[in-house]
């Protein structure tokens, strides 16, 4: 193709036009943006009204008694801290919270490490000073000490916490609130290791247990968050739709903090990919006319996916089969996901399955298949020379029980803990002595057993 001289451009006359990338990325200046959606009034809380009333009654009585102790426990994200803070604001109570400092040991000029104060001593001094002294700029006499972050030394030696609590009860002039979140690991569960039944009885600790947030409460909290976004932060977020709120609700698992976190990331401007992970179709209705209801499940970004051992046992022993569009069926909870969640303690999880699987089966043939799967898993778990045998053994037990139970019994069956079966093997001192066997008349007879020369108590 030939160009004329008039249309031909010289290389020095051509100037490339700069490309303008006009992409506006919203910037959140607030370090803790989650505070934008914190409850302001008691009506904004997603917690059950009876739990709120119980905490409020304790607060009113605690302002009169200086040595009252309250323990709040429950799963993560059930509104324990938000309930205390909201009620304290309502009644004009100042909260002072303990946060465990990070100890960094730095050597001195001579290369030696300086002496540092124990964490238990720092903790005791802080909570007593916070309970007894008031700032000169603050005339509020109603004070409350809040402890949610426990020093690690109390987990190693719970007796130190008993001494600290005894001194606080004797010397403090303000009530104290301890908040413990449930943990799947018994070794890291603060409530089980520190707040024993004897300790709660000794110091008369009032214990309030919070449950997971209900679906109604979560929906109200997400609706309130959506209203705040539309009124104040429409430049940073897209207005959440009803389908998006329902998707976040289906995957929150009763955790209001996780639900708001997921709604935050899904509504941010500039998100050009879908965070939806799966679509669940349920058949509802009776008889021949069944309606399919499509439910979207949202990918959880801020919640620990590790389920408790009771939920895991329920998922295995009550398998739910979902039908897909192509006519195939699949399990609502895949065995691979359950294995990944309980791979750290496979023997404990299988012990729970072996103790509770029989009441959930209705056919003897299904029980035979389940028993075979459990036997094979026990055989693989006993093989200690290869690590992958633990994973294979757990998978055989989980998948074998879920696939063998063709018609599970739809009834409420309580989960029983496994029995402590400690096999005792005989040792040499406990074994009976062997005596020669005589032959009398062609019949082998053994002499009467003799008592051992000594006994082991």
CA-to-CA dists, residue 404 to 247, 361, 449, angstroms: 32, 9, 49
Beta bridge partners of 293: 282
Separation between Cα atoms, residue 304 and residue 257, nearest integer Å? 12
Q: How far apart (Å, rounded) are the C-alpha atoms in residues 73 and 356?
A: 27
CA angle 192, 195, 196 (to 5 degrees): 75
Q: CA 450, CA 433: separation in Å to the nearest integer?
A: 8
Q: Given this model, what pLDDT does residue 407 score?
A: 84
Alpha helices by DSSP H, 172-241? 190-193, 197-202, 215-232
pLDDT in tens, the chain (457 residues): 444 444 444 444 444 445 444 444 444 445 567 778 889 899 999 999 999 999 999 999 988 877 789 999 988 889 999 999 999 999 988 899 998 776 655 556 665 655 567 888 889 999 998 888 877 666 567 889 999 988 888 888 888 999 999 999 998 888 999 999 876 544 556 677 788 888 999 999 999 989 888 889 999 999 999 999 888 888 888 888 888 888 888 777 788 888 888 888 888 877 654 555 444 444 444 444 445 455 555 544 444 444 567 778 888 888 888 877 777 888 888 888 888 777 666 787 888 888 889 888 988 999 999 999 999 988 888 876 676 788 888 899 999 999 998 888 877 777 787 775 544 444 544 444 544 444 444 444 445 555 444 444 4
- Please tell me the distance from the alpha carbon of residue 148 to that of residue 128, in angstroms, as a whole number: 16
Measure the N-to-C terminal CA separation of the chain; round to a whole number of Å: 109
For domain 47-102+116-208, the CATH architecture is 3-Layer(aba) Sandwich (3.40)
Q: Where are the domains of the chain?
A: 47-102+116-208, 213-304, 306-420
Which pair of structure tokens corresponds to residue 316? 């295995």
pTM, full prediction: 0.59
Distance CA 15, CA 10 (A): 10
């Amino acid at each position: 193709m030939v160009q004329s001289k008039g249309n031909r451009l010289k290389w020095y006359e051509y100037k490339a036009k700069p490309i303008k990338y006009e992409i506006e990325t919203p910037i959140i200046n607030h370090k803790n943006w989650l505070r934008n959606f914190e409850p302001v009034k008691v009506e904004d809380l997603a917690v059950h009204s009876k739990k709120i009333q119980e905490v409020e009654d304790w607060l009113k009585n605690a302002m009169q008694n200086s040595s009252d102790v309250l323990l709040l426990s429950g799963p993560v994200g059930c509104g324990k801290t938000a309930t205390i803070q909201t009620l304290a604001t309502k009644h004009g109570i100042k909260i002072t919270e303990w946060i465990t400092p990070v100890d960094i040991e730095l050597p001195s000029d001579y290369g030696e490490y300086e002496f540092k104060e124990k964490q238990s001593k720092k903790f005791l001094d802080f909570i007593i000073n916070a309970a007894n002294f008031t700032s000169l700029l603050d005339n509020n006499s109603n004070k409350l000490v809040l402890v949610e972050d426990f020093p690690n030394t109390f987990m190693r030696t719970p007796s130190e916490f008993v001494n600290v609590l005894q001194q606080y009860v004797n010397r403090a002039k303000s009530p104290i609130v301890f908040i413990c979140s449930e943990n799947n690991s018994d070794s890291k569960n603060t409530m089980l290791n520190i707040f024993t039944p004897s300790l709660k009885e000794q110091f008369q600790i009032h214990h309030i247990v919070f449950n997971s947030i209900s679906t109604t409460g979560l929906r109200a909290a997400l609706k309130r968050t959506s209203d705040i976004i539309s009124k104040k932060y429409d430049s940073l977020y897209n207005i959440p739709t009803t389908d998006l709120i329902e998707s976040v609700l289906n995957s929150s698992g009763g955790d209001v903090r996780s639900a708001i976190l997921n709604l935050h990331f899904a509504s941010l401007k500039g998100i050009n990919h879908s965070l939806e992970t799966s679509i669940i179709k349920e058949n509802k209705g009776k008889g021949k006319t069944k309606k399919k209801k499509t439910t979207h499940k949202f990918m959880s970004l801020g919640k620990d996916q590790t389920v408790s051992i009771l939920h895991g046992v329920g998922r295995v022993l009550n398998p739910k089969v979902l039908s897909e569009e192509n006519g195939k069926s699949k399990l609502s909870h895949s065995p691979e996901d359950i294995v990944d969640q309980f791979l750290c303690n496979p023997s404990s999880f299988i012990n729970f399955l072996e103790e509770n699987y029989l009441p959930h089966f209705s056919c003897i043939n299904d029980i035979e298949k389940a028993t075979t799967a459990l036997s094979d898993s026990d055989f693989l778990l006993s093989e200690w020379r290869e690590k992958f045998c633990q994973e294979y053994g757990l998978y055989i037990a989980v998948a074998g029980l879920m696939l063998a139970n063709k018609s599970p019994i739809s009834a409420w069956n309580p989960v029983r803990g496994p029995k402590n079966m400690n096999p005792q093997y005989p040792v040499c001192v406990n074994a009976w002595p062997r005596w020669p066997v005589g032959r009398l008349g062609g019949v082998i007879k053994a002499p009467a057993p003799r008592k051992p020369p000594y006994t082991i108590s």
